[in-house]
Amino acid sequence: MTNPTKFLTAALLAATTLGTAAAAANVDGPSVFWKISMYGNPRALTSGMEALAEKVAAETDGKFQIRIFYAE
């Protein structure tokens, strides 16, 4: 009986978290700038981070920017 309870709890938590993240995406707020330093050259792992940076900038009208630095 513990496994279904854990599953339902995790599903409820995920639904709650995803719902609030989607609502918070278009909130007007302060400008934020993150710098991420990656070791080496661009690769498959960083393509997801680059897509996330573009999506966040588009959803917040450029108020939240993520810049990825390679080997710096």
pLDDT of residue 69: 92
- CA 18 to chain CA centroid, nearest Å: 11
pLDDT of residue 7: 58
Higher per-residue confidence, 55 vs 6: 55
Query: Do the Cβ atoms of 21 and 59 come closer than 8 Å?
Result: no
pLDDT of residue 1: 46
Q: How far, in Å, CA of 20 to CA of 16, rounded?
A: 6
Q: How far, in Å, CA of 56 to CA of 46, rounded?
A: 15
How do the domains of the chain map onto residue ranges? Answer: 42-72
At 16, is the secondary structure helix, strand, or coil?
helix
Q: Which two tokens stand for residue 4?
A: 């279904």
- Side chain identity at 1, as an amino acid letter? M
pLDDT digits (tens, 9 = 90+) for 19-66: 545 545 566 778 999 999 988 888 888 899 999 999 999 999 889 999
| pTM of the model as a whole | 0.56
